[in-house]
Amino acid sequence: MATNRTFTMLKPDATGAGNTGKIIDRMIEAGFTIKAMKWTQLSLKEAQAFYAVHAERPFFGELTAYMSGGPIVAMILEKDNAVEDFRTLIGSTNPQEAAPGTIRADFAESIAANAVHGSDSDENAAIEGAFYFSERELA
Ligand code: IDP
Ligand code: MG
């Protein structure tokens, strides 16, 4: 059910530092089930499309250059209350403000290179998942 799913990306700092497996382990230990997973890299245009909601923000150029600069791992995760519970698991956007034990507190490098993405609503989880995965992969 869509309401029990969220979408995440491991960002280029996480894949580049060799933290992919450790971060995925955190997600599984927290009770999330992987429904789809893809190792890929975004072009700048694709990063701009994915983050279009932030187009007017001052950090848009930095964010999209960063997100297209290395490999990412896109994943659809399932769990009760997935969107909210996943945001709690990853912690605040700025790792200096992220609660101890959260993924961003333990793995993020900076506010831009903050290890993981997590959808902020059920609606955006569905949109973001469909950006990466075909209907068959989403089944
Ligand atoms: P979120 O990822 O915690 O939902 P958003 O506000 O949606 O945070 O921002 C999207 C992404 O943009 C962040 O995860 C981070 O990578 C980047 N970002 C947010 N604020 C800043 C900033 O002030 N400077 C640079 N990058 C930022
Ligand atoms: Mg966000």
- Tell me the per-residue pLDDT of 66-121, one tens digit each, with 9 for 90 and over: 999 999 999 999 999 999 999 999 999 999 999 999 999 999 999 999 999 999 99
Give catalytic residue positions: 117
Mutate to test the pocket of ligand 1, among 7, 93, 97, 114 (most ligand atoms within 8 A of CB): 93
pTM here is 0.96
Mean pLDDT, residues 45-70:
98
Measured from the CB, is residue 26 less than 6 Å from ligand 1?
Answer: no
pLDDT band at 139 (very low <50, low <70, confident <90, very high): confident
Among the CATH numbers 3.30.70.141, 3.40.640.10, 3.30.2290.10, 3.40.50.2000, which is that of 5-132? 3.30.70.141
Identity (one letter) of the amino acid at 72? I
Please report, for the chain, the start and end positions of each structural domain, with discontinuous segments joined by +: 5-132
